[in-house]
Amino acid sequence: MINPHGADSLTPLYVTDDVRRSELEQMATDIPSVLITSGAAASAVMLASGYFTPLTGYMNIAEAISVASDMKLSNGLFWPVPILNLIQQQQLTDDVKNADKIALLDPNVEGNPPIAIMEVSAIEELTEIQKNLIIEKTFGTSDPEHPGVPAFADVGNHVLSGSIEVLNYSYFTQDFPETFRTAVEIREDIEARGWETVVAFQTRNPMHRAHEELCKIAQKEVNADGVLIHMLLGKLKPGDIPAAVRDASIRAMVKHYFPDNTVSITGYGFDMLYAGPREALLHAVFRQNCGASHFIVGRDHAGAGEFYGPFDAQIIFDDIPSDALEIEIFRGDWTVWCHKCNEIVMMRDCPHDNDDYFTISGTKQREILAAGEHLPPEIARPEVAEILMEFYQTEVN
């Protein structure tokens, strides 16, 4: 199986020892605490799960700027996106300033229980120049209309850095018990299935026929034993389809249209960044940590609106050192229904032209579903369309 990123084995930060975890939970009641952001809590879950191997906690300013500017940790290892714990000025009490350890409280669980204990290495304040640099490099824009920019810009300028010990996986194990899996568990599952070559597919959306076929094309072309469908379960921008609906639709598609033991349906606990090319690189890092040998990067991967070109997330892989990652990238093209081929095709493999292709926009798809009508069979499997139509009828309308 492919090695984890920058390590011989995964370094999950979840405290597995019951006695130690109980001690830390008690400690959390006695030491200063800080209510962290949803993004920082999600990063704690990713660190707990081994997805962010070999990181041991949140970055300081120097490390974050190195990552933003050069995509390198201080030790020279490739890393594409800063992992920061930002708080507001008013949260920086004297107790917090003078603490060696801080309890990090989860904003996404009722009662805000501690999600981790942090060994405080530094408390620093970002200058506006530094913050703008990180935003520009990470998102490729500082436009507040980009959904990721305000999520970073508006959460405070004080950086709490240091290693963490994680006490739980936030709401993900309770809300998604059949889907949420750590990188450790995914590696164990791949090994148990006897898979050697695994192609991973990222999604924050339900999978239509084009996504389904892209997975099948990639599996065939790289001769993969199986496909890891790995869905984001964290926070999304308004208008995106909730994780539970997406989960149900993906499971319906796999049940009816993939052979047995060729797909692993899993999810991970992270908030979407919508950082396009940089997020595609991060996705590749933690899919390598999952044990996948190949990763599908399709059109407008991790994008939002018109902020990125349709294939910018593929092009960026040409700009990093050849030894930055061990995982290999499968580059997806425009994937459409071709009337002459009578099947879903990638345009680059099809001899026909645009007049032979059938597509409808995402806006039109939502209008059809909201009207209580099924999506065309060229676009969505009927089992998937049924789930999506019910959601739009009951929740959106």
Structure tokens, 86: 């930002």
* Secondary structure, 3-state, 46-93: HHHHCCCCCCCEECCHHHHHHHHHHCECCCCCECCCCCCCEECHHHCC
| Distance separating alpha carbons of residues 98 and 48, to the nearest angstrom | 26
Query: Residue 395 burial by CB count (10 A; 0-12/13-18/19+): exposed, middle or buried?
Result: exposed
Return the beta strands (E) in 106-250 as ranges. 114-119, 122-125, 158-166, 198-203, 226-232
Q: Taking the alpha carbons of 19, 23, 28, 29 in that order, is the dihedral positive or negative?
A: positive
205 in active site: yes
What pairing do the DSSP bridges indicate for beta strands 263-268 and 86-87?
Answer: unpaired
214: helix, coil or strand? helix
Residue from 181, 187, 204, 246 carrying the catalytic annotation = 204
Active site residue 261: no
Catalytic choice (112, 205, 331, 366):
205
Helix (H, G, I), strand (E, B) or coil at 311: coil
Catalytic (active-site) positions:
204-205
